[in-house]
Amino acid sequence: MSGISRHDVLIAGGGLAGLRAAVQVHDAGRSVAVVSKVYPIRSHSGAAQGGVNASLGNHPDGGDDSWEGHAFDTIKGSDYLADQPRAEILAQDAPVRVLEMEHWGAYFSRFPDGRIAQRPFGGAGFPRTCYAADRTGHQLLHTLWEQCLKRGITFLDEWFVTRIVTHDGRAGGVVALHVPTGELRAFAADVVLIAGGGYGRVFAKTTNAYINTGSLTAAAYRAGARLEDMEFIQFHPTTLYGTNILMTEGVRGEGGYLVNAEGKRFMDRYAPSVLELAPRDIVARAIQTEVDEGRGFEGGYVQLDIRHLGGDVIKEKLPGIRQIAMDFAGVDPIEEPIPVQPGQHYSMGGVSCDENGETDVPGLLAAGECSCVSVHGANRLGGNSLLETLVFGKRAGDRAAEIAGAGGAPDASPADALADALAEERGAVEALRKRTDGERQIEIRRDMQRTMTEKVGLFRDGARCVDAVREIARLRTRYRRVALGSGHAAFNYDLIDTLELRGMLELAEITALGALVRQESRGSHWRTDHPKRDDTNWLKHTMATRGKGGQPVIDYEDVVMAGYEPTERTY
């Protein structure tokens, strides 16, 4: 193993889930390193705005909240596709995890009596979303980063993982490329825990950062892990028209109105009881329907109006939203409504794992948006994504430390397996650098994004899904002859983009195929040719395994129930 660094646990991904897991592994006495393709404080977790859910019961107008109510709202919001015992874990653990972050220094907004402030969010029966103005993710990310620095945790920044190494079916390390130098190295570990975020950049219109390509999800898939429920893609109702920058659900939680080109609030047509505070899938489809039926503004948007809240409230509770609207749309929301449209926002599906992060591949764990614990089902409630990173990041860290300390994997990745994987990756990258005759990755990427947005978007049907599957297959063929614009080693982002595109095409294919075979409408997956939810045939998870030739093989597993019987989902 000479020249190959070893850690008990190697965490790939430096966002909230990865950092929370790292703290837990370290505190259990195991050696841990975090490898991240960007500096951790640049992780996409920092872009989360609106808040994190917990049944603290602090809101003065809401009565008594409970974890049971939170679990029910989560399961109903999921359109009954969530695994119910795990949704209960999410809700039960929420107060402890949020208060833990407060005690570690997270700067939450407060009610006048000093308690953590909570605001209403869509699909919730109680105002339980704790927030730090409209910069909650930023606060939580920096708080966990400080906790990691305090503990002296090892960070390997700007290392892009190209491969998860397995030996005899067990994960035991990774091969990664150092972005500043172009060096490829192998890293050994008893346990590999991936926490790489979502893959929103598969779509053209997305709130996701450029780094959200799903590279670790694809690496896990190639290493033998199954992917679950990939057809369930959340489209956030309110992204800034023209740029798709997120306009947090907290804007509507504070009382914002959605208004069409006729000057009318329209959510009473779609969710008469809760209006703008319906779950995201319902609000997103409502906005798109208004646009498609000619009641949107020219170009295809509606307006998000908060002028009635007043300047003081906007400046105190939504300062980031105001700044973004002014900087990127030339609109001061104190004076004018904000132009918004739906955009891809979150992936409910991901690497299939249990409540402790364990996947089908021994020694490989997953946490955060790249995983599918199946607490979100067909539609995630706002405020549950930050919570998931804290709850299941902690649990995955516990389990990773336990496995690493059990002595059951001392020979999980011997030197020859890592050396062989490293040699193969070096050969593939070198061949790519030398190739001069071929197509540039950006053209393939744009065609993929356009195909997914147009054919596997908010509204789907069988014909468009068939077209998408066929087109992605053609793009994968084109990718075989992809060529770089430059073969230089240092900071070659064309190389990184090209390597990531391989995985993006795989994830796009699985998403489109899952959308094609699921012949019902449930949560975020809306088939216009199958407009009803079908619990008789489709109360089950879609599972994708990598088959021969890299083609996905689809299978199913039943949803795990815990007494919450599916009912009609109305708001």
Helices (H), 406-544: 415-434, 441-455, 462-479, 493-517, 535-538
- Residue-by-residue DSSP string for 152-219: T-EEEETEEEEEEEEETTEEEEEEEEETTT--EEEEEEEEEEE-----GGGSSSBSS-TT-S-HHHHH
**Is 348 within 8 Å of 233 (Cβ atoms)?**
yes
CB-based contact 391:376 (threshold 8 Å): no
**How far apart (Å, rounded) are the C-alpha atoms in residues 430 and 492?**
13
Instruction: Give the strand pairing for 371-372 and 350-352.
Output: parallel
SS3 at position 556:
strand
- What length does the chain have? 571
Between the CA of residue 475 and those of 208, 233, 449, 466, 470, what are the distances in Å?
22, 21, 11, 14, 9
What's the CA angle centered on 312, arms 309 and 318, to 5 degrees? 70
Distance CA 337, CA 520 (A): 36
According to DSSP, residue 223 is labeled T
Residue 236 bears catalytic tag:
yes
As a whole number of angstroms, the distance between CA 437 and CA 78 comes to 47
Calculate the CA dihedral of residues 305, 308, 311, 315 and round it to 10 degrees.
Answer: -50
Q: What share of the chain is helix, strand, coil (3-state, %, to 5)?
A: 40, 20, 40
Catalytic residue among 252, 460, 522, 541: 252
Unique residue bearing structure tokens 């990773």: 400
325 three-state secondary structure: helix
The alpha carbon of 368 is separated from its chain's Cα centroid by a whole number of angstroms, namely: 7
Instruction: State the Cα–Cα distance between residues 329 and 247, nearest whole angstrom.
Output: 12
The DSSP symbol for 277 reads: G
**Burial status of residue 144 (CB atoms within 10 A of its CB: 0-12, 13-18, 19 or more):** buried
What does the DSSP assignment read for 3-16? T-EEEEEEEE--SH
Closest among 368, 366, 275, 254 to 320, alpha carbons compared: 254
Q: What are the structure tokens assigned to 100, written together?
A: 């833990």
d(CA 134, CA 247): 9
CA distance 164 to 507: 17
- What totals of helices (H) and strands (E) does the chain contain, helices first? 15, 19
Query: How many angstroms separate the first and last alpha carbons of the chain?
Result: 59
103: annotated active-site residue: no
Rounded Cα distance, 381 and 510, in Å: 24
Distance CA 496, CA 127 (A): 42
- The catalytic position among 236, 285, 464, 533 is 236
Beta bridge partners of 554: 544
**Residues with a known catalytic role:** 236, 252
